[in-house]
């Protein structure tokens, strides 16, 4: 049975039993505690916490998930995958333990020709929480399982919670016995390879007030309505039903291994190390594909770093399999064709995905070349210091700073007859992971103190009236200070107010929050921020400048109308820029983020190259043409699928309900899902002027612009600057460009003349520097630190000094110190190169000493760093390397 068929069979089974099928959410779920969706229940979290009402009392889904904590285990076990799909059924007070057990048993044991999965009932084992006699009894009653196939385990294995205060409860896990060929008998408590878990039924029946660890928490109270959350691993079910040994061999993954085998000439199943590498390739290629389909681009932080790591590990694994050519253009399309069957977004975004992935591989191939030079420098240092082990710090720097793979370092070190300080490297990696976990805990903790907001939200949401009203009479529902509800607040305090309705727009969708005032007789409070701490609830952070406010007070909420109109202009202009970019760059210019406030916008989009000046002018021109055309701006609520059918653009990672708000400018020219505030027609924007374009990460560009009066002010400042320069240079404005170009040309001529004079002065010192050469194991060695000399002059001097050494073996190493930086240049004579002394290798020894890197050819190489005081030490390291190599030759 194909994986896609199992997926559909699961959904059909629960749909027939009254469950509302939910589409998979994006992997980039809008949750500050998570990097990616890592469990099938994550999109259901607001329902379990009571922050939102579920669309039905029973739901079912197959959710895309990514887990990165086990990335190093990928390929080594049968069950660790980075990307996986979690099948789940959920009940919000409709059924509980007996219903969950009955559904699970029916699906897994019903014959395949009757719509089930067809597992042999005699192979099924289950675990329950110690003391949960009810669950054990239901398994005996419903499934007829004998007592010996129902095993009790402790909290670490059979209790589930989210890691933060909220719902939790015991769980029951379902296992399939794969037979004696896979391990010893005795059930899951003995061996979890032979007895493979396929489904976890969570009986959420308590509200937890504090969570310290998996098995250390405080129970506050029973939930008013017990809930069911289940998770079944689609890939695990697939490889059991498809009769293969591990998840890497199922129909959605193995074809990538097959293509990698063709490219490498290796055989799968004959060598353990090769098999691990082939599985890594298959897993990581698929995982990277799915992340990019949901909008992630390679980068150096957070989600982008995870993607970069997956892509680079794939390339590295293929390199270890002997393939040095580009591999992603061969492997990624295979995974695209497999995953596109269930996830159409993969096919729709293919052009953008492939561009980003292939550019990342090219960049990594360049890194491998540079990393090899740094590795060789580390080897030289180790040999000079007569060590047979590469220091953990050097290996970590190669891995973490320069992206050079650890496994490749191990292999290359072994080829050189060297060991690696694995313990030192591991310790540094642990420190890095601990820092990451601490950061994650900090983020998680930041979202914990929501009890006051959730209590208010339980009484109803906050209606937003701001699309049509800017002044509203309303009632204070709650006063919150530092996460704690209070009855009132007084003059001079800054607190949060929850109103029973509001015209204030809360910060969201890239739009800044409204400002304004909340007033009443005897009260004046300045609104400084507006947020949604929990879904459906709007809070107003206010500074009380006069009087007192109390729960139940009737007040007037007044939005700053001027700032609101400027925000509308900026937000509508953001849509205009997005449409202009897609018109000129094509569909790959997908939004990657945005921010707008009164008079200003910035827009991030996917692109592999910078915008040319001409293209920037075109974007600005198309945008202002759309503004002048006075395009009608409309906002319409409609079903999500209807908006998608109309081509409405959605933001990656945003959560959309069944009914969405689609904003149009000029009909089909710009259609986006958006909850922000907008002008009524594009002419109200007034004017747009682009002010900047830059890179904010690999494959992501940013444009910034002023709009409306701020655009006019910006142009007025530029006009004043032009007038000042024209007056200063005594030319007309239209002659300014020519005059500045002539001045620049004259300055360059003078700079060249000065450089020539400096060069002559330096060359005059060449004889003196060459004369100071010392003998180092039969090699003439020149090492000199020069103050105030930069890279280009240093290179010229090094070449001159080398020429003065004649035909004897000679190495020239110069360190120039200028502007707080160190430049290193190493030059070698032909006779020195015959003795194995390579300039590129030698500069690679010295550059890390000054906190940098370097490289070049065998005859001359250049590098540098920022540690000025270490320049003499760098020359000393180079001299020791010369001595070691010359002595060895």
Binding residues, as ranges, are 571, 575, 674, 678
User: How far, in Å, CA of 586 to CA of 589, rounded?
Assistant: 6
Residue 131, φ and ψ in degrees, nearest 5:
95, -10
Of 75, 452, 474, give the one whose Cα is nearest residue 287.
75
Residue 260's alpha-carbon distances to 274, 872, 882, 888, in angstroms, are: 11, 49, 43, 41
User: How far, in Å, CA of 522 to CA of 409, rounded?
Assistant: 72
User: How far, in Å, CA of 791 to CA of 275, rounded?
Assistant: 48
Secondary structure tally for the chain: helices H, strands E: 26, 32
Beta strand extents in 393-464 (DSSP E only): 419-420
User: How far, in Å, CA of 847 to CA of 852, rounded?
Assistant: 5
User: Which 8-state DSSP code applies to residue 37?
Assistant: -
**Alpha-carbon Rg for the chain in angstroms:** 33
Q: Which residues are annotated as a binding site for Zn(2+)?
A: 571, 575, 674, 678
User: DSSP of 53-90, one letter per residue?
Assistant: --SSSEEEEEEEEE--TTGGGTTTSSS--SEEEEEEEE
Compute the Cα dihedral for 28, 32, 38, 39 and give only its sign.
negative
> Hey, which residues does 689 pair with through a beta bridge?
706
Of 425, 424, 419, give the one whose Cα is nearest residue 389.
419
- Asked whether 396 and 404 are in contact (CB, 8 A), the reply is no
Q: Degrees (nearest 5) of the Cα angle 300, 306, 311?
A: 95
User: How far, in Å, CA of 359 to CA of 369, rounded?
Assistant: 16
Structure tokens at 837: 């002394």
User: How far, in Å, CA of 273 to CA of 250, rounded?
Assistant: 20
Q: Degrees (nearest 5) of the Cα angle 78, 45, 252?
A: 30
User: How far, in Å, CA of 887 to CA of 772, rounded?
Assistant: 21
> Hey, which residues does 92 pair with through a beta bridge?
227
- Lookup result for tokens 């069944």: 658
Residue 66, φ and ψ in degrees, nearest 5:
-135, 130
> Hey, which residues does 61 pair with through a beta bridge?
22, 88
Could you tell me which residues come within 8 angstroms of residue 312 by beta carbon, excluding any fewer than 6 positions away? 360, 364, 367, 403, 405
User: How far, in Å, CA of 731 to CA of 736, rounded?
Assistant: 6
> Hey, which residues does 508 pair with through a beta bridge?
511
Long-range contacts of 434-441 (CB under 8 A, 24+ apart): 440/33, 440/35
Of 123, 283, 278, 279, give the one whose Cα is nearest residue 187.
123
Could you tell me which residues come within 8 angstroms of residue 475 by beta carbon, excluding any fewer than 6 positions away? 499, 500, 552, 553, 554, 555
Structure tokens at 607: 């692109």
Coil, helix or strand for 335? helix
Structure tokens at 335: 């995974």
User: Which 8-state DSSP code applies to residue 143?
Assistant: I
Q: Is 172 exposed, middle or buried (0-12, 13-18, 19+ CB in 10 A)?
A: buried
Of 304, 302, 310, 344, give the one whose Cα is nearest residue 328.
310
User: How far, in Å, CA of 210 to CA of 168, rounded?
Assistant: 11
């Amino acid at each position: 049975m194909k994986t896609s068929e199992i997926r559909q069979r699961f959904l059909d089974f629960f749909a027939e039993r009254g469950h509302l099928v939910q589409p998979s959410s994006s992997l980039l779920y809008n949750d500050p505690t998570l990097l990616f969706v890592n469990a099938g229940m994550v999109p259901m979290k607001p329902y379990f916490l009571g922050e939102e009402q579920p669309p039905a009392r029973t739901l079912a889904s197959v959710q895309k998930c990514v887990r990165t904590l086990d990335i190093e285990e990928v390929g080594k076990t049968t069950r660790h995958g980075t990307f996986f799909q979690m099948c789940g059924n959920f009940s919000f007070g409709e059924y509980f333990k007996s219903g969950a057990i009955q559904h699970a048993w029916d699906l897994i044991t019903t014959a395949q020709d009757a719509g089930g999965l067809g597992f042999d009932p005699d192979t099924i084992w289950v675990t329950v929480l110690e003391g949960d006699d009810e669950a054990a009894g239901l398994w005996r009653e419903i499934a007829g399982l004998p007592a010996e196939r129902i095993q009790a385990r402790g909290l670490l294995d059979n209790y589930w919670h989210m890691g933060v205060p909220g719902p939790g409860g015991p769980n029951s896990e379902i296992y399939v016995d794969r037979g004696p060929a896979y391990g010893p008998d005795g059930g899951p408590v003995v061996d979890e390879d032979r007895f493979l878990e396929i489904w976890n039924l969570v009986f959420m029946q308590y509200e937890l007030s504090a969570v310290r660890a998996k098995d250390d928490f405080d129970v506050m109270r029973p939930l008013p309505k017990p809930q069911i959350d289940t998770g079944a691993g689609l890939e695990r079910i697939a490889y059991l039903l498809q009769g293969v040994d591990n998840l890497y061999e199922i129909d959605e993954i193995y074809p990538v291994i097959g293509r990698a085998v063709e490219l490498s000439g290796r055989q799968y199943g004959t060598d353990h190390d090769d098999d691990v590498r082939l599985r890594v390739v298959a897993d990581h290629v698929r995982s990277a594909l799915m992340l990019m389909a949901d909008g992630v681009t390679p980068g150096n932080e957070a989600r982008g770093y995870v993607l970069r790591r997956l892509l680079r590990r794939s390339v590295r694994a293929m390199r270890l399999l002997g393939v040095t050519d580009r591999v992603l253009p061969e492997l990624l399309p295979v995974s695209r064709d497999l995953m596109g069957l269930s996830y159409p977004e993969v096919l729709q975004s293919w052009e953008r995905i492939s561009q980003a992935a292939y550019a990342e591989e090219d960049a990594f191939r360049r890194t491998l070349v540079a990393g090899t030079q740094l590795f060789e420098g580390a080897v030289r240092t180790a040999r000079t210091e007569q060590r047979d082990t590469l220091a953990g710090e050097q290996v970590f720097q190669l891995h973490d700073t320069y992206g050079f793979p650890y496994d490749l370092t191990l292999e290359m070190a072994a080829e050189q007859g060297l060991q690696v300080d694995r313990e030192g490297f591991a310790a540094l990696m642990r420190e890095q992971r601990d820092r990451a976990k601490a950061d994650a805990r900090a983020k998680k903790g930041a979202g914990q103190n929501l009890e006051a907001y959730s209590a208010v939200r339980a009484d109803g949401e906050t209606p937003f009236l701001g699309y049509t009203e800017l002044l509203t009479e309303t009632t204070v529902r709650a006063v919150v200070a530092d996460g704690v509800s209070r009855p009132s607040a007084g003059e001079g305090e800054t607190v949060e107010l929850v109103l029973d309705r509001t015209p204030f727009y809360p910060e969201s969708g890239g739009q800044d929050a409204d400002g304004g005032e909340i007033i009443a007789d005897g009260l004046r409070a300045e609104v400084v921020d507006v947020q949604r701490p929990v879904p459906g609830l709007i809070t107003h952070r206010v500074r009380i400048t006069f009087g007192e406010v109390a729960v139940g007070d009737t007040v007037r909420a007044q939005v700053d109308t001027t700032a609101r109109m400027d925000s509308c202009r900026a937000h509508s202009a953001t849509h205009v820029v997005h449409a202009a970019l897609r018109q000129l760059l094509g569909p790959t210019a997908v939004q990657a983020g945005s921010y707008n406030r009164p008079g200003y916008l910035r827009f991030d989009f996917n692109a592999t190259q910078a915008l040319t000046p001409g293209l920037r002018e075109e974007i600005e021109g198309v945008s202002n043409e759309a503004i002048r055309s006075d395009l009608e701006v409309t906002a319409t609520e409609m079903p999500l699928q209807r908006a998608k059918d109309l081509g409405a653009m959605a933001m990656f990672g945003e959560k959309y309900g069944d009914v969405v708000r689609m904003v149009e400018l000029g009909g089909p020219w710009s259609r986006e899902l958006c909850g922000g505030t907008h002008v009524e027609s594009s002419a109200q924007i007034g004017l747009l002027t682009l002010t900047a374009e830059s890179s904010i990460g690999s494959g992501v560009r940013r444009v910034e612009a002023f709009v409306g009066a701020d655009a006019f002010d910006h142009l007025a400042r530029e006009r004043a600057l032009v007038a000042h320069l024209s007056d200063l240079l005594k030319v007309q404005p239209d002659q300014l460009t020519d005059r500045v170009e002539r001045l620049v040309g004259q300055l360059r001529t003078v700079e060249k003349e000065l450089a020539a004079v400096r060069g002559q002065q330096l060359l005059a010192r060449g004889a003196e520097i060459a004369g100071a050469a010392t003998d180092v194991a039969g090699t003439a060695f020149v090492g000199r630190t020069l103050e105030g000399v930069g890279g280009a002059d240093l290179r010229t001097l090094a070449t001159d000094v080398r020429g003065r050494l004649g035909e004897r073996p000679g190495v020239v190493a110069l360190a120039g110190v200028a502007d707080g930086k160190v430049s290193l240049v190493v030059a070698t004579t032909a006779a020195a190169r015959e003795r194995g002394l390579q300039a590129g290798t030698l500069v690679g020894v010295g550059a890390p000493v000054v906190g940098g890197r370097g490289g070049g050819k065998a005859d001359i190489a250049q590098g540098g760093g920022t540690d000025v005081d270490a320049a003499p030490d760098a020359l000393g390291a180079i001299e020791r390397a010369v001595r070691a190599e010359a002595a060895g030759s």
